[in-house]
């Protein structure tokens, strides 16, 4: 994305400015968007689905929009259609009260009539490269060529403090705590299982199986239990994925995907569960396997 000027708070794009206007209108001046059919053939505007619903408007209605928070100098537009805003995780909790205008209409609406340059001023130009892997080089090249503008790749930016990176680290921390808790549970279950099979282990030893053989048996059982549990867990997660997404999509009125069980996540879960299960079963059975055989079979 090619961005002009300063990147700080005040230098927002014209489109967002209009969004802000409409949000401002939405909260402060409910009557500012009015249906008024006096002007012949007003220019077209697209409203987000959410804006149409919030203002009880429909396609074909004529509305007035103003580039001034006070509502001065409104201009009429006809709602030509509605659209679903691109899901934006950053703004998931915000009401997507947005509109899309043709650029000349936007410039006319928001420009300063006393400033002739306003008609030709933009805050951002989005560029799609033929080879996206050249984005960084392109940004460097154009920053050097045109010093007055800022050029940056939209895929870059600080990763450490990127909100999604932070939330991802948070989720991973929670996941690791959950895995530890699950490991304790698994160990408890394995201890119970081992206890129940005390006599079985004793009998196996009595009939001649070595400790190593018994441990191998225990390892295998632990792997099977943990693997089966993990597969069941992944299947359960995949089934409930739809429920979570449906709930949050309803809650935030968005088409964002909140939960996705990818093959990588599934494999990782199984890869963590199986060694944990094997370790738990060995730990739980260790003392038993090393006990005197007769004490195991004696009641």
Partner 1 sequence: MRALAFAWRSLLRRGGRSALGIVGIAAAGALMFDMLLLSRGLLVSVRELLDAFGFDVRVLASEGIPQSRLPIEHALETARALSALPEVASAVPFRIGEAEVAADSDRPDEVALFAVGATTRRIWTVVDGRDLSGREDDALDVVVNHRLAERMNAGPGTSLELRGRCSATPSILPPITVRIAGVATFPFDSGAQLTMASRFEVLDRLCERPAGEADLIMVASRPESGPDAAVDAIRKARPDLYTFSNDEVIERFERVGFSYFRQISTALAIVTLSFGIVLITVLLTVSVNQRLGEIAALRAIGFSRHRMAADVLWESALLVGIGGLAAIPLGMALSIWLDAILRSLPGVPATLHFFVFEPRVLWLYAGLLTGVALGAAIYPMWLVTRLPIAGTLRREFVS
- Binders of partner 1 among residues 49 to 88 (CB under 8 A) are 69-70
Neighbours of 15 (CB within 10 A): 17
Look at residues 125, 126, 66, 69 and name the one whose alpha carbon lies nearest to residue 99.
66
> Under rule CB under 8 A, how many of the chain's residues touch partner 1?
47
* Of positions 41, 114, 133, 196, contacts partner 1 by CB under 8 A: 196
Strands (E) in 152-293, as ranges, are none
Does 114 sit near partner 1 (CB under 8 A)?
Answer: no
Distance CA 272, CA 62 (A): 59
Kindly state the smallest distance separating residue 131's Cβ from partner 1, in Å: 30
CB atoms within 10 A of CB 18: 21
CB-wise, 171 or 211, nearer to partner 1?
Answer: 171
CA distance 3 to 12: 10
Q: Is 246 in the site for partner 1 (CB under 8 A)?
A: no
| Min dist. Cβ of residue 6 to partner 1 (A) | 6
Between 10 and 298, name the residue whose CB sits nearer to partner 1: 10
Nearer to partner 1, 57 or 92 (CB): 92
SS3 content of the chain, % helix, strand, coil (to 5): 55, 10, 35
Q: Which residues have CB under 8 Å from 125's CB, separation 6+?
A: 1, 2, 4
Residue of the chain from 102, 132, 170, 275 that contacts partner 1 (CB under 8 A): 170
Of 16-45, binders to partner 1 (CB under 8 A) are 17, 20-21, 23-24, 27-28
The rounded distance, in Å, linking the Cα atoms of 129 and 116 is 32
The binder of partner 1 chosen from 56, 130, 131, 161 (CB under 8 A):
161
Answer for the pair 18, 103: CB distance below 8 angstroms, yes or no. Answer: no
152: left (phi over 0), alpha (psi -120 to 50) or beta: beta
Is 181 near partner 1 (CB under 8 A)? Answer: yes
According to the binding rule CB under 8 A, does residue 295 interact with partner 1? no
Stretch that binds partner 1, among 3-11, 76-84, 133-141, 200-208 (CB under 8 A): 3-11
Q: Which is nearer to partner 1, 59 or 174 (CB)?
A: 174
Q: In what order do the strands lie in the sheet with 149-151?
A: 124-125, 2-4, 149-151
Which residue, 73 or 181, has its beta carbon nearer to partner 1? 181
**Where on the chain is the footprint of partner 1 (CB under 8 A)?**
4-6, 8-12, 17, 20-21, 23-24, 27-28, 69-70, 92-94, 123, 160-163, 166-167, 169-170, 173-174, 177-178, 180-182, 184-185, 187-189, 191-192, 195-196, 248, 251
């Amino acid at each position: 994305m090619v961005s002009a000027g300063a990147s700080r708070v005040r230098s927002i794009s014209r489109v967002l400015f209009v969004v802000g206007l409409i949000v401002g209108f939405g909260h402060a001046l409910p009557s500012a968007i009015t249906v008024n059919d006096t002007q012949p053939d007003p220019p077209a505007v697209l409203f987000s689905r959410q804006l149409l619903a919030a203002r009880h408007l429909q396609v074909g209605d004529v509305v007035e929009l103003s580039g001034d928070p006070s509502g001065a100098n409104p201009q009429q537009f006809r709602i030509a259609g509605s659209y679903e805003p691109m899901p934006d995780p950053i703004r998931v909790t915000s009401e997507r009260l947005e509109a899309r205008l043709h650029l000349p209409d936007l410039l006319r609406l928001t420009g300063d009539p006393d400033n002739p340059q306003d008609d030709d001023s933009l805050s951002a130009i989005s560029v799609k490269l033929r080879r996206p892997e050249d984005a960084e080089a392109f940004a460097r090249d154009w920053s050097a060529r045109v010093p007055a503008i800022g050029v940056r790749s939209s895929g870059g930016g600080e990763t450490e403090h990127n909100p999604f990176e932070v939330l991802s680290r948070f989720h991973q921390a929670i996941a690791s705590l959950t895995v530890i808790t699950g490991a304790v549970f698994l160990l408890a279950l394995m201890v119970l299982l081992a206890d129940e099979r005390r006599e079985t282990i004793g009998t196996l030893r009595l009939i001649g199986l070595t400790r190593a053989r018994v441990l191998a048996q225990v390892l295998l059982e632990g792997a099977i239990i943990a693997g089966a549990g993990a597969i069941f867990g992944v299947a359960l997660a995949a089934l409930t994925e739809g429920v979570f997404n449906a709930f949050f999509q309803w809650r935030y009125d968005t088409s964002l995907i909140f939960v996705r069980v990818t093959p990588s996540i599934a494999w990782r879960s199984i890869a963590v569960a199986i060694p944990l299960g094997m370790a738990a079963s060995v730990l739980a059975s260790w003392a038993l396997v090393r006990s005197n055989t007769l004490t195991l079979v004696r009641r």
